[in-house]
Chains A and B, each alone.
Chain A
Amino acid sequence: MTELLVGTKKGLFVLRGDPQAGEPFEIATRAFPGDVVEFAMRDPRTGRYFAGHTSGFYGPRLMYTDDPTGEWIQAEGPSFPEGGDVSLERIWMIRPGEADGLLYAGVAPAALFTSTNDGESWSLNEALWKEHQAGDWQPGAGGLALHSICPWPGDPQRLAVGVSAAGVWITEDGGQTWRTGYAGLVPEYMPEEAREDTNALCVHNMHRAPTRPERLFMQFHGNVYRSDDEGSSWQEIKAGLPSGFGFPLVIDPSDADSAYVIPLIADIDRVTPDARVRVFETRDAGSTWAAHGDGLPSNEAYLTVLRQAFGSTGQGPDMQLYFGATSGDVFGSPDAGSSWFHVHERLAPVTSVRVA
């Protein structure tokens, strides 16, 4: 049985099904009805579920539970220190760390929070927050967001995060100090003469290859990049894609040369190119890309797939892939992208998809 956590503009949908046995996905529960659920995931180490959601009236909060069909508990935080003028706007990402009980949360305005007690309480990473305040960070269209968190397997001291729009930040001392990873990123949305010195680098998504952790893949605002030096510098790999623009990105954890993206036409037209839906896969670190559309809408399809709305489970040829669109459709692949099926339709606009 596969369990999907589908965050939407109107609540969290928990879908359960068994694609390999041919059992369709059905809605097991809908939590936080009426609220935007920006992100939901399950920590595989403890089985605990987390959801970041925002009431249009009562603001954002992080909730957790051991049973998504039951009661959810509100975590202590993340929240900014009292006495300032900054308030939490949104939770973009929750990610397990590389130590018992350690989790990270990326939020807007862009900041990193850490929990050392399995997500029950959260504290601000002060060092990165100081970089934010000193750096005149500017928001992208979706706000000023820390949305990508890439731990280094086995080493809790090393971490890379992606910020829209303040680029890549890297720590090697557990978050006490941070350095940038800007080299090679080209902000084509800036005047050419302003590109070299800008920190307005609009990272859309970033993932680390666990079997070769110095390698990361990035979906950027108008390009796709790869880094082979821990995120310090980046090489363009968009050749072969219909567009360099898009938001989500997934990797096969067993293959350091793999990445999947779902391109959109451009920043001024954020829908799937050629009126059809396709997922693009590389197995050679971005030298070539293969299009996958078998089972996906192939005509008159103008879908938008958001940053966190693409998830996976497993690895290799049996890896399952799932993504959702703002149309309320969710699609899945039981065979690493070779074929696709309609998981569900007519949900609310999908903001995130993760496999529990």
Chain B
Amino acid sequence: MAVVLLRAPLSQRAGNTSDHDLPGSTVGEVLRELERRHPPIVGWILDEQGRVRPHVNVFVNGERTGEGSAVEPSDVLHVLPSISGG
């Protein structure tokens, strides 16, 4: 399973846990599984259409990607606020 790493405030909404082992073959699938396991995070990373929010960055193994990008079981996903929001 891929590892998703979160920082506050996202980690607070995901059971106060920053590391999550999650199944899924795309970034979108992995993040939807995160939402399924932790409903308080619904709408924070993905909008209601399943798109990564414009001012959130998802990196897979250090490379910035989108919701449709492929994910391998050994991948590490970082979810970070972009420098453009806020």
Contacts and interface: CB of A to CB of B under 8 A. Distances in A.
A and B form one complex: yes
Contacts of B56: 57-58
Interface stretch (B15-23, B39-47, B62-70): B39-47
18 contacts: A34-B86, A55-B85, A55-B86, A57-B55, A57-B56, A58-B43, A58-B44, A58-B45, A58-B55, A59-B44, A74-B40, A74-B43, A82-B48, A82-B50, A87-B47, A87-B49, A88-B47, A88-B48
Contacts of A58: 9-10, 43-45, 53, 55-56, 81
A85 interface: yes
Given A57-B81, A57-B82, A59-B44, A86 B55 contact: no
A64 to B, nearest CB: 14
B49 A82 contact: yes
Contacts, number: 48
A59 B53 contact: yes
Interface string A56-83: 1111010000000000001000011111
Nearest to A73: B40
B66 to A, nearest CB: 15
Interface of A: 34, 55-59, 61, 74, 79-88
- Would you list the 9 A-B pairs with minimal beta carbon distance, nearest first? A56-B85, A56-B86, A87-B47, A57-B81, A79-B48, A57-B85, A58-B44, A57-B55, A59-B53
Contacts of B49: 80, 82-87
B51 interface: yes
Nearest to B9: A58
B48 A87 contact: yes
A88 B53 CA distance: 11
Nearest to B41: A58
Contacts of B81: 57-58
Nearest to A74: B40
Nearest to B48: A79
B53 A57 contact: yes
